[in-house]
Structure 1
Amino acid sequence: MALFEEEERPRPARGFVPPSFEGWSVSDLEAHIVALRQEIARAEAAIAARQAQKGAAEAFFRKE
């Protein structure tokens, strides 16, 4: 047993398989677009948070 065990978390898929839109109604497609936009916003927020953390760490350890 390791002293510090990494928490298991799901890894991103190694490829995007788009769904088949055959048989989807217009309202289904619109709802899908809304959900995708929300997921994009969530991913962008995660990127911004990681960049902020990285910037703070770089500023803290910067030697001038």
Structure 2
Amino acid sequence: MALFDDEPKKKPLAHEIGQELSLLSVGELNDRIGLLKAEIVRLEAELAAKGTTKSAAEALFKR
């Protein structure tokens, strides 16, 4: 038996798309929903920022 693990322990993912949900508690499901909603907000903000940059670039080159 080794005293030290060669590989660091991998942190479990908060949620994985398609993951089995039947073993999760109601609280765990609610936590994951909150995490996913926060991720959607983050993705939408990035999408909006990219749209603004794209619009600015298009306006610059259409002169």
Answer 1 or 2: higher relative contact order, Cα 8 Å, separation at least 6: 2
* Deviation for aligned residue 1:17: 3.8
Structure of higher CA gyration radius: 2
Corresponding residue pairs, total: 48
d(CA) in 2 for partners of 1:30, 1:17: 15
Q: Identify unmatched segments of 5+ residues in structure 2.
A: 1-15
d(CA) in 2 for partners of 1:17, 1:60: 40
Percent sequence identity is 38
* Deviation for aligned residue 1:22: 1.5
Q: Identify unmatched segments of 5+ residues in structure 1.
A: 1-15
* Deviation for aligned residue 1:24: 0.5
**Under a length normalisation based on structure 1, what TM-score does the superposition of the two structures give?**
0.68
RMSD: 1.4
Moved over 2 A (4+): none
